[in-house]
């Protein structure tokens, strides 16, 4: 009886107490580990997991003041978890500020440099967005963002690809952990993403012989690399190859910062830096990124899927590049484009009359001549009409003409008739550092398009432009001192016969090639899309030249005097 008197009777049945116990309020966590078998502390939590009371502790709950106080404490703890617990409940992976100790190079051995190609437009492969794009260094695909709900984050979880590089900042991150990798072994990848050479190396590009090897062990020469022909963009490839060897234009776009300029200038700068990249992963480049911008700016007049004329594209590109650099439409010399290529042309014109009382005036008379000055970027050279008949041996003759024969258009003596006017042309001092010649081979009318196959012969060095310039002693002292130009690039055309289902049975396909001078070696290379081969200097003028780039020689006499030579 004494033992029974020491027991305290419960104020309510045990079953009702268990109905309102905190066990029913325990949150359900997916894949949560089994709770450890440890004693429950006073607030009902252990290691941030809410636990139900054991049966033998139900009396203790009553002693502590009933289950309502404990229930409120547990609800408060569940409503206000730690900051780390909240983030853990949203994401199964905890973000890290850095790699764990001893694991700084984790996942770097999974990088596959052979599949990396950063030439394509920086668009997410899922959302097609160009904002905050990352490249997976394992498969080479582009994905947007690196947050918990980003495409790159999901790709890392699904494909087990963990290393990504930001295409703008060039920072490398490990996902899904989210920390940045700062390893010197990744410098080659960062350089290929955005190759930038120091100024001293850029200035030596045409002076020192260089050669490099890609990841396949293939040797290539920086500046003389192939370019992908995605579908029908060979007209674009030859123009870019020629412009990449215009020294002041190339140096300007390789050294200056165009982050605040339009995309056309930015992507042209990137293309030039990749063409001259001495540490490339592959021995060719793809113009996909800049072609997408050109198609957008030109309203699809020039695209990668349709063939166009290189001269039409060259004229459009130079003018739009001038505007992208902030150049003026009226004021000359306001951009590097005009400073390199723009010159002045004197045009004398006279009306043609054939009245009997006035006489047939076929000569220029000072009283009737109208003189005006115009500016040019490209000089057009007209070919004589090709012969219509075969020779006496019944074989077709390919006519030839020297370059001086078609340059006579600008000697101020020979006249041309156009729109009931006779015109004479002559260049004015100072001549631009680079001259662009367009040999006009194609003509169109309402019925047919014709090609003139005449071969233009020319020297590759020492083209004297003095006979075609109006003398101006105040600008060009020395009177008849020659003005020499040397050829640095030549775009050629070749017509290839292909079978056609039309009535004619055959059609012509245009093939464009670029012939480029390696100044450091004195050798010529011929580039057709991905194919690069050495060319013989004496055979440069044996093909149908279409666009020529000439560089003005820098006063060799004065240069020799400065060096103390005779």
Nearest to 280 by CA among 185, 212, 228: 212
Q: What is the Cα–Cα distance from 222 to 383, expressed in whole angstroms?
A: 36
pLDDT of residue 532: 95
- Structural tokens at position 216: 């396949």
Helical H runs in 309-446? 310-324, 336-341, 403-407
What class has domain 342-562?
A: alpha beta
Secondary structure class of 388 (helix, strand, coil): coil
**Residue 321 in contact with residue 377, Cβ under 8 Å?**
no
Q: What is the Cα–Cα distance from 468 to 127, expressed in whole angstroms?
A: 57
Per-residue pLDDT of the chain in tens (566 residues, 90 and over written 9): 444 444 455 555 545 544 444 444 444 444 444 444 444 444 443 444 434 444 444 444 343 334 443 343 443 343 334 433 333 334 455 666 666 665 567 789 899 999 998 988 899 999 999 999 999 999 999 999 988 889 999 999 999 999 999 999 999 999 988 889 988 999 999 999 999 999 999 999 999 998 999 999 999 999 999 999 998 999 999 999 999 999 999 999 999 999 899 999 999 999 999 999 999 999 999 999 999 999 999 999 999 889 999 999 999 999 999 999 999 988 999 999 999 999 999 999 888 766 555 555 556 565 578 889 999 999 999 998 877 665 555 566 788 999 999 999 998 888 888 877 888 999 998 999 999 999 999 988 777 788 899 999 999 999 999 999 988 766 665 556 789 999 999 999 998 877 655 545 456 788 999 999 999 999 999 999 999 999 999 999 999 999 999 999 986 554 433 333 32
Nearest to 271 by CA among 195, 324, 339: 195
Nearest to 25 by CA among 4, 46, 44, 47: 44
| Cβ burial 195-214 (10 Å sphere, 16+ → b, else e) | bebeeeebeebbeeebeeeb
Torsion of CA 543, 544, 548, 553, to 10 degrees: 40
Secondary structure class of 390 (helix, strand, coil): coil
pLDDT of residue 98: 65
pLDDT of residue 446: 73
Please state which of the four CATH numbers 3.40.50.300, 3.30.40.10, 3.40.50.1820, 2.40.30.60 is assigned to the domain occupying 108-192: 3.30.40.10
> Which residues is 427 bridged to in the sheet?
345, 469
Pairing relation of β-strands 434-440 and 370-376?
unpaired
DSSP assignment, residue 504? S
Pairing relation of β-strands 544-552 and 484-499?
antiparallel
**Residue 544 in contact with residue 441, Cβ under 8 Å?**
yes
What 476-481 contacts at long range (C-beta under 8 Å, 24+ apart), as own/partner pairs, is 476/429, 476/430
Per-domain boundaries in the chain: 2-90, 108-192, 342-562
Question: Environment class of residue 420 by beta-carbon count within 10 Å: exposed (0-12), middle (13-18) or buried (19+)?
Answer: exposed
Q: What is the Cα–Cα distance from 67 to 75, expressed in whole angstroms?
A: 12
């Amino acid at each position: 009886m004494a033992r029974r008197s020491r027991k305290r009777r419960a104020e309510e049945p045990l079953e009702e107490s268990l109905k309102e116990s905190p066990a029913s309020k325990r949150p359900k966590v997916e894949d949560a580990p089994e709770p450890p078998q440890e004693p429950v502390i006073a607030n009902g939590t252990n290691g941030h997991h809410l636990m139900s009371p054991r049966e033998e502790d139900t009396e203790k709950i009553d002693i502590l003041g009933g289950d309502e106080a404990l229930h409120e404490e547990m609800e408060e703890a569940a409503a206000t978890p730690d900051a780390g617990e909240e983030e853990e409940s949203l994401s199964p992976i905890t973000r890290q500020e850095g790699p764990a100790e001893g694991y700084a190079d984790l996942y770097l051995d999974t990088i596959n440099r052979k599949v990396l190609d950063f030439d394509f437009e920086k668009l997410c492969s899922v959302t097609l967005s160009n904002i905050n794009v990352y490249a997976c260094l394992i498969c080479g695909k582009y994905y947007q963002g690196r947050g918990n709900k980003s495409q790159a984050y999901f790709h890392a979880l699904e494909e087990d690809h963990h290393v990504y590089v930001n295409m703008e900042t060039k920072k490398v991150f490990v996902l899904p952990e989210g920390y940045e990798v700062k390893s010197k072994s990744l410098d080659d990848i960062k350089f290929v993403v955005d190759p930038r050479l120091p100024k001293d190396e850029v200035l030596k590009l045409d002076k020192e012989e260089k050669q490099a090897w890609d990841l396949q062990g293939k040797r290539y020469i920086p500046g003389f690399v192939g370019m992908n022909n995605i579908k029908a963009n060979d007209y674009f490839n030859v123009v870019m190859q020629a412009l990449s060897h215009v020294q002041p234009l190339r140096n300007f776009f390789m050294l200056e910062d165009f982050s605040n300029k339009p995309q056309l200038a930015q992507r042209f700068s990137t293309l030039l830096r990749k063409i001259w990249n001495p540490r490339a992963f592959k021995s060719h480049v793809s113009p996909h990124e800049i072609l997408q911008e050109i198609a957008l700016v030109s309203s699809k007049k020039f695209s990668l899927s349709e063939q166009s004329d290189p001269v039409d594209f060259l004229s459009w590109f130079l003018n739009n590049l001038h505007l992208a650099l902030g150049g003026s439409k009226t004021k000359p010399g306001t951009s590097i484009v005009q400073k390199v290529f723009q010159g002045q042309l004197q045009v004398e014109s006279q009306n043609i009359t054939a009245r009997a009382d006035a006489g047939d005036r076929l000569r220029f008379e000072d009283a009737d001549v109208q003189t005006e000055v115009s500016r040019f970027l490209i000089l057009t050279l007209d070919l004589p009409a090709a012969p219509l008949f075969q020779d006496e041996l019944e074989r077709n003759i390919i006519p030839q003409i020297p370059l001086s024969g078609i340059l006579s258009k600008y000697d101020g003596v020979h006249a041309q008739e156009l729109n009931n006017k006779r015109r004479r042309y002559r260049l004015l001092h100072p001549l631009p550092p680079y001259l662009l010649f367009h040999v006009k081979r194609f003509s169109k009318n309402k019925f047919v398009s014709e090609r003139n196959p005449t071969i233009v012969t020319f020297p590759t060095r020492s083209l004297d432009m003095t006979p075609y310039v109006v003398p101006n002693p105040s600008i060009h002292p020395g009177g008849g001192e020659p003005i020499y130009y040397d050829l640095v690039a030549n775009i050629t055309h070749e017509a290839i016969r292909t079978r056609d289902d039309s009535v004619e049975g055959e059609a012509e396909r245009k093939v464009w090639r670029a012939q480029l001078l390696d100044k450091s070696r004195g050798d010529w290379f011929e580039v057709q899309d991905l194919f690069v081969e050495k060319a013989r200097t004496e055979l440069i003028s044996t093909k149908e030249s279409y666009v020529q780039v000439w560089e003005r020689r820098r006063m060799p006499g004065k240069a020799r005097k400065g060096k103390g030579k005779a």
